[in-house]
Structure 1
């Protein structure tokens, strides 16, 4: 069929102007047509036309390699144009139809024409297949690059925020420490002075909030020694710390803790996480009409220690719950969206997990930490 192929190619070469004319008339362009797309239209038609003629002349052993290489070129054109894959599919099929229409004028036996049509269909079908494959691969690479760029920019902004926050909060904490010192002196000299307990409690909570912000800064990432401590005692300390706030807002706190729960880590950081979760729960329940209740449950399961803090606040929407631990995401009107982000960073640093689930009745935050083994190390 070599001689016949030469005749077919020679015939189609003569029909080149007709092909390009019909191509420009029928090719589908993007809705947001630009001068760039107009200029590339003719060159793309010439490229597809040349690929088809070259493919007709190749033996089967070389055909797939050539079609793949040509498809990669076409996919790169589409990526540079930033046009949709649907246009590529339509225009390639349209180009095949134009060539087949031209072949009806070729003088040959019906059986011979049928073989030519089958070969053209084979070429265009595989050319289209490889073009879509390359287009999808290139598009995925671009999306991954964009995602990495966004993530990098996001991390840069968080780093800058941490540095700014650290500088500001360090300056803020110094006078706060002085105020706390004078409050202690006043309480010692005037034990009957009213409102000192309230002032002291508010200063403690302010100090807690400042510590939260400091944890955003890398300056706070010092190598503190991890120790084994009682989670039961820590929860009792937290309950005493938040008691004034619970009493003020009429929130009941129930505890259900198994005996002998120990974890290994930085006690103050884990304390910060538990306080943060409870404060969040208190704040979201303030605006509800239902009975405000927090239920803390601690237990061991396998090689892990679980601490669940549930509250009767409003359900967290499903669309938000997957991003609840991301920075600046909050359900509170006056929230910063940093507390849960910092809390997750702390728990993950302790080789644990911080999870959230929510329904119409309860919203539960679950802390999972590895239980220390008998030698005192975390598994």
Structure 2
């Protein structure tokens, strides 16, 4: 290795602290990963780059491949998505190249070194991408199995806890109703009852997750129009609080065969999610519900809101368990909704653009002879 290359490596080692100080201010760390693990990945890239630069060309490719497959690197792959890895690696690449470009030498002399450093990092990231795909393909079945285990455990915990919690809540709800009937002049009783209803709704959500309780043991034929009237009355206080306008455009005589309480659960959950999103924005907010029959008599119900566009990566996983953007969310609401709709032989999907985010429920034609 000639003297200039040796001097550049020594210079880069001396500038390491400054490079990482700037890098740490710019990196993006995913929610599920701790910052220290991501920083460890940056230091690994820096170490690999300096050592690779000192190697002869014949050894370079095998070294970069083996390093990408190293146990230390695999730990990082398993705790982050490839998009974050590549993004943050490119930031440190830029910081490194900036330092090289500023080295005290003529540009014609430093240019080959600049290009070699860039090529080394690109080759290493290519190997990282291949190894990342291999590692995550190996762990995919395990990840799915863990999801099932977590759901089973959560179902057992919530089933036992929520049953105990619901008994005193039912008693409180009954006495509040009695108190209101005997003292209709008392203020705030409607508010108290509405809050209790919402609490019962949340409890119901967890009970449905446990899969040990069917809320309505009999499949009935019910009017979706009437059900939406009930849901609109239930959510009205939340709409007022969040300053959200509700618009409805429903064809007449929309009937559904199924468990009415479960469908109610789906509608309330989707609308509550929309209200939560819309309450965080300053512009005018609208939730639009549109219901109609397809040519095959299947029922389509679309719930749209004017909230921000859902990013494509999140849109692809939005119905998966434990996926949420809320600080206090469980990531189970939409998962439960999809399970309910599919149990009714229907489909639940979501689309999102800059104007509208729309959840579409499609249910099979109702058997009208059961009326």
Give the TM-score taking structure 2 as reference length.
0.62
1-structure distance, mates of 2:181, 2:139? 60
Equivalent residue, structure 2, for 1:233? 226
Equivalent residue, structure 2, for 1:243? 236
2:199 is equivalent to residue 209 of structure 1: no
Cα deviation, residue 276, structure 1: 0.6
Equivalent residue, structure 1, for 2:247? 254
Whether the 8 Å CA contact 2:215–2:261 is kept in 1: the answer is no
From 147, 157, 175, the equivalent of 1:154 is: 147
Consecutive unaligned residues of structure 1, counting only runs of 5 or more, are: 1-24, 38-138
From 294, 313, 319, the equivalent of 1:319 is: 313
Cα deviation, residue 32, structure 1: 7.5
From 265, 272, 287, the equivalent of 1:272 is: 265
Spell out the pairing of 1:1-379 with structure 2 (5 A cutoff). Answer: 31=64, 146-221=139-214, 224-303=217-296, 304-376=298-370
Cα distance 1:323–1:226, how it changes in 2: closer, same or farther (>3 A)? same
Equivalent residue, structure 2, for 1:58? none
Cα distance 1:322–1:183, how it changes in 2: closer, same or farther (>3 A)? same
Q: Which moved more, 1:163-172 or 1:200-209?
A: 163-172
Cα deviation, residue 225, structure 1: 1.8
How much is the aligned-residue C-alpha RMSD, in angstroms?
2.7
Cα deviation, residue 335, structure 1: 2.0
Query: What secondary structure, in the 3-state scheme, does the structure 1 residue paired with 2:212 have?
Result: helix
Query: What secondary structure, in the 3-state scheme, does the structure 2 residue paired with 1:290 have?
Result: coil
Cα distance 1:334–1:157, how it changes in 2: closer, same or farther (>3 A)? closer
CA offsets, 1:129-156, max 9 Å, x none?
A: xxxxxxxxxx99x987743332222201
Whether the 8 Å CA contact 1:284–1:332 is kept in 2: the answer is no
Cα deviation, residue 223, structure 1: 8.0
CA offsets, 1:315-356, max 9 Å, x none?
A: 111110111111121232332211111111100100001110
2-structure distance, mates of 1:345, 1:204? 23
Cα distance 1:176–1:250, how it changes in 2: closer, same or farther (>3 A)? same
Cα deviation, residue 369, structure 1: 0.3
Cα deviation, residue 201, structure 1: 0.5
Equivalent residue, structure 1, for 2:124? none
Consecutive unaligned residues of structure 2, counting only runs of 5 or more, are: 1-57, 71-132
How many pairs were matched up? 250
2-structure distance, mates of 1:264, 1:147? 37
Cα distance 1:360–1:32, how it changes in 2: closer, same or farther (>3 A)? closer
2-structure distance, mates of 1:299, 1:321? 25
CA offsets, 1:163-216, max 9 Å, x none?
A: 101111111111111111111121122111111111110000010011001111
Cα distance 1:222–1:187, how it changes in 2: closer, same or farther (>3 A)? closer
Give the TM-score taking structure 1 as reference length.
0.61
2-structure distance, mates of 1:285, 1:190? 37
Query: What secondary structure, in the 3-state scheme, does the structure 1 residue paired with 2:291 have?
Result: strand
Cα distance 1:223–1:334, how it changes in 2: closer, same or farther (>3 A)? closer
Cα distance 1:197–1:222, how it changes in 2: closer, same or farther (>3 A)? closer
Whether the 8 Å CA contact 2:251–2:291 is kept in 1: the answer is yes
